[in-house]
């Protein structure tokens, strides 16, 4: 569960103000023009930036000032999620132990996830030898191994071709159901959400100006026209 109460963040003279609640297991897409504050919203929830005022509750705990590593949150970016000097196995292991020293149980968990993301044959491969989709699979696998109930995705598949992107979405939806994750995903690509009818938030100039599903978004003529739907 995510709850933002009157959360204010300031960049120079730009003020952002967020209020919203996401229930456990929801998949929410975040849309809006460049510079609107989408990544800032994710950064506030992840703890990379601290609000000027307001409260951030995660699973009913006040986490407004908690360090990112202590929050029940993992985050996946568009790219650069992996350490290129580490193998796939080591990149996955980071989700379990920063020292990369795993117990036998953790090693089993790693193997299960490697299978789940279809990369058990690539454990000793380095990221530079992987395709874009495979790299994002490793990054998703590492998030799953962290066992954190909230997953934040910042344009995670936008550098992938349409077929691969579709496959990655299917994997993500399956994983979300299996692990009952709460997912917030920033995207610029409307075809990412058109088929799912998920809840969407539209952010403009640091505020949420729309909160509803994709069908409702399509019938909201002003915002739909603004987004080019």
Ligand X SMILES: Nc1ncnc2c1ncn2[C@@H]1O[C@H](COP(=O)(O)OP(=O)(O)OP(=O)(O)O)[C@@H](O)[C@H]1O
Of the candidate spans 35-43, 64-72, 173-181, 193-201, the one that interacts with ligand X by CB under 6 A turns out to be 35-43
Name the minimum Å distance from CB 78 to ligand X: 9
Cβ burial 23-54 (10 Å sphere, 16+ → b, else e): eeebbbbbbbeeebbbbbbbbbbbbebebeeb
Closest CA to 66 of 94, 47, 82: 47
Asked if 48 interacts with ligand X (CB under 6 A), we say: no
Q: Where would I find the H helices in 38-182?
A: 38-46, 88-93, 104-116, 132-145, 162-179
Asked if 40 interacts with ligand X (CB under 6 A), we say: yes
Asked if 14 interacts with ligand X (CB under 6 A), we say: yes
User: x-or-dash pattern for ligand X, window 91-110, by CB under 6 A?
Assistant: --------------------
Name the minimum Å distance from CB 107 to ligand X: 37
Taking the least distance from each CB to ligand X, the nearer of 36 and 139 is 36
Cβ burial 179-201 (10 Å sphere, 16+ → b, else e): eebbbbbbbeebebbeeeebbbb
CA distance 218 to 229: 7
Put residue 107 in one of left, alpha, beta given phi > 0 → left and psi -120 to 50 → alpha. alpha
Measured on CA atoms in the order 31, 36, 42, 45, is the torsion positive or negative?
negative
Taking the least distance from each CB to ligand X, the nearer of 133 and 206 is 206
Taking the least distance from each CB to ligand X, the nearer of 77 and 173 is 77
Asked if 36 interacts with ligand X (CB under 6 A), we say: yes
Asked if 10 interacts with ligand X (CB under 6 A), we say: no
Q: Which of 38, 137, 148, 199 binds ligand X (CB under 6 A)?
A: 38
Of the candidate spans 21-29, 38-46, 105-113, 218-226, the one that interacts with ligand X by CB under 6 A turns out to be 38-46
Asked if 162 interacts with ligand X (CB under 6 A), we say: no
Q: Which of 29, 32, 184, 217 binds ligand X (CB under 6 A)?
A: 32
Residue position matching structure tokens 């995903």: 185
Asked if 35 interacts with ligand X (CB under 6 A), we say: yes
Q: Where would I find the H helices in 30-98?
A: 38-46, 88-93
Name the minimum Å distance from CB 226 to ligand X: 14
Give the footprint of ligand X on this chain (CB under 6 A): 11, 14, 32, 34-40
């Amino acid at each position: 569960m995510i709850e933002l109460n009157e959360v204010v963040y300031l960049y120079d003279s730009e003020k952002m103000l967020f209020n919203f609640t996401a229930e456990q297991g929801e998949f929410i897409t975040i849309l809006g023009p460049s510079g609107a504050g989408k990544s800032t919203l994710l950064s506030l929830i992840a703890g990379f930036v601290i609000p000027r005022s307001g409260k951030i509750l995660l699973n009913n705990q006040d986490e407004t000032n908690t360090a990112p590593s202590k929050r029940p949150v993992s985050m996946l970016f568009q790219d650069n999620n992996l350490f290129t000097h580490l193998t796939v196995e080591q990149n996955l292991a980071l989700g379990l132990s920063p020292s990369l020293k795993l117990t036998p149980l953790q090693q089993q968990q790693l193997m299960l996830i490697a299978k789940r993301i279809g990369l058990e044959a690539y454990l000793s491969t380095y990221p530079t030898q992987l395709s874009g989709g495979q790299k994002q699979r490793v990054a998703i696998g590492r998030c799953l191994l962290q066992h954190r109930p909230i997953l934040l995705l910042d344009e995670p598949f936008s550098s992938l071709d349409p077929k691969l992107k579709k496959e990655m979405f299917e994997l993500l939806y399956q994983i979300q159901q299996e692990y009952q994750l709460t997912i917030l995903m920033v995207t610029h690509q409307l075809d990412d959400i058109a088929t799912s009818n998920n809840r969407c938030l539209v952010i403009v100039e640091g505020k949420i100006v729309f909160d509803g599903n994709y069908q409702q978004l399509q019938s909201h003529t002003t915002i739909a026209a603004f987004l080019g739907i």
